[in-house]
């Protein structure tokens, strides 16, 4: 059974795959933990409970809305905690460059429940709101700017690449046509345009018809895949031998990046098989803790539907030569 600390935080945020994350990170008293995507602090509360009094926890988040959540967490954390605001890829790289080392690092990717539940942030297609989607409100690029200024080819490419949207072309054309009459300013306007652009049967298929376009815009606005690709090697640099890295992703694009990175760093020689001897000199620096991505149980998805698409992968750092 999970400790009471998780039950107390459930009113604010239900952390995804909480028991599995806790088991894989295996935090021990006195260690240093980095929660690189603090959000509402659900995972941090669990990890702090395992750290006890001598441990340290560093919380990172680019959303200023996470700071009040952190302040409430700090009041009852029972360990040394610190909040760093910024893009986790940038902050992790800065910490690594300053020789900060960690025993456990968590990346919980994608949009947080805290952001989705604030309609004015424009992340949800279910509520009419300003078309925004910035995780950091001080960032210049917003979803509104993308849909109103990017050309049809760019829009279709984003929808196809980041949303794997089957009707990317027709949707992009419909957006360009509509904005010549009236620029987009609200999520509801975009949802209506998407619905009209796709075949009628597709409007009643699996999931909301705007889901993939909204995902694609959110990824583009926040450069989520670029940040992930930069954050993973920085996190690896920070890990002490025996340190654990866990990553929770929510769609195949993220999971593919995480899987590719963890597998590559857990292998030895990366030379082409036709070479008679190794010339790369690469040695494994990670040992996989998950052969396949861990998915939420039916029980978890029943109580927390937002967990349905979550996938968890983890690995442990090894000394060069141990792999």
- Mark which of 162, 191, 222 sits at the end of a domain: 222
Instruction: Give residue 106's pLDDT.
Output: 98
Per the listing, tokens 């593919």 go with 256
Cβ neighbours around 60 below 10 Å, total:
26
CB atoms within 10 A of CB 196: 14
In angstroms, what CA-CA distances link 77 with 17, 60, 66? 21, 16, 15
Q: How far apart are CA 184 and CA 175, in angstroms?
A: 9
H or E stretch including 96? helix 88-97
Asked, for residue 322, whether it belongs to a domain, the answer is no
pLDDT at site 278: 81
Task: Find the CATH number of the domain harbouring 92.
Answer: 3.40.50.150
The pLDDT assigned to 85 comes to 96
Co-location of 33 and 71 in the same domain: yes
| Structure confidence at residue 125 (pLDDT) | 87
Q: Based on the domain organization, do 99 and 140 belong to the same domain?
A: no
Q: Each residue of 5-16: pLDDT tens digit? A: 333 333 446 799
DSSP letters along 302-317, please? HH-GGGTT-EEEEEEE
Query: Could you give the number of structural domains in the chain?
Result: 2
* Ranges of the chain with pLDDT below 70: 1-13, 112-120, 320-323
Q: In terms of residue numbers, what domain contains 274?
A: 4-108+227-317
Domain identity same for 180 and 236: no
State the pTM of this model. 0.88
From the CA atom positions of the chain, what is the Rg in Å? Answer: 21
Same domain, 147 and 217: yes
Sign of the alpha-carbon dihedral angle for 103, 109, 113, 116? positive
Among 197, 222, 247, identify where a domain stops. Answer: 222
What pLDDT, in 10s, does the model give residues 258-317?
999 999 999 977 778 788 788 877 789 999 999 999 999 999 999 988 899 999 999 999
Task: Determine the pLDDT at residue 112.
Answer: 63
Q: For residues 10 and 58, what is the distance between their CA atoms, to the nearest angstrom?
A: 21
Residues 132 and 200 in one domain: yes
Which of 206, 222, 238 is the C-terminal boundary of a domain? 222
Kindly state whether residues 256 and 302 are assigned to the same domain.
yes
User: What is the structure's pLDDT at 203?
Assistant: 78
Which pLDDT score is estimated for 11?
A: 42
β-strand 80-85 against 56-61: which pairing, if any? parallel
One domain for residues 307 and 288: yes
Which domain CATH number covers 191?
Answer: 1.10.150.170
List the structure tokens of 72: 């409430």
């Amino acid at each position: 059974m999970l400790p009471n600390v998780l039950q107390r935080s459930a009113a604010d945020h239900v952390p995804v795959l909480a028991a599995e994350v806790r088991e894989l990170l295996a935090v021990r008293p006195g260690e240093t933990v980095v929660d690189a995507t603090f959000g509402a602090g659900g995972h941090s509360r669990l990890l702090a409970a395992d750290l006890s009094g001598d441990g340290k926890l560093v919380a990172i988040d680019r959303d200023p809305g996470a700071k009040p959540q952190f302040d409430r967490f700090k009041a009852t954390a029972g360990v040394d905690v610190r909040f760093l605001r910024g893009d986790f890829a940038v902050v992790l790289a800065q910490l690594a460059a300053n020789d900060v080392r960690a025993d456990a690092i968590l990346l919980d990717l994608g949009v947080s429940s805290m952001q989705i539940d604030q309609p004015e942030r424009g992340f949800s297609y279910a509520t009419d709101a300003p078309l925004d989607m910035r995780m950091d409100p001080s960032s210049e690029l917003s979803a509104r700017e993308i849909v109103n200024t990017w050309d049809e080819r760019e829009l279709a490419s984003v929808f196809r690449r980041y949303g794997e949207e089957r009707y990317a072309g027709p949707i992009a054309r419909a957006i360009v046509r509509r904005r010549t009459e009236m620029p987009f300013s609200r999520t509801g306007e975009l949802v209506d345009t998407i619905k009209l652009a796709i075949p009628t049967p597709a409007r009643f298929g699996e999931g909301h018809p705007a889901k993939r376009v909204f995902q694609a815009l959110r990824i583009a606005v926040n450069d989520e895949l670029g940040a992930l690709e930069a954050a993973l090697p920085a996190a690896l640099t920070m890990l002490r031998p025996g340190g654990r890295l866990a990553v929770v992703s929510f769609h195949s694009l993220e999971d593919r990046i995480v899987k590719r990175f963890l597998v590559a760093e857990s292998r030895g020689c990366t030379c082409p098989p036709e070479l008679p001897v190794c010339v790369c000199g690469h040695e494994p620096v990670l040992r996989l803790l998950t052969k396949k991505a861990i998915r939420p149980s039916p029980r978890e998805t029943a109580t927390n539907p937002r967990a349905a698409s979550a996938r968890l992968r983890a690995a442990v750092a090894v000394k060069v030569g141990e792999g």
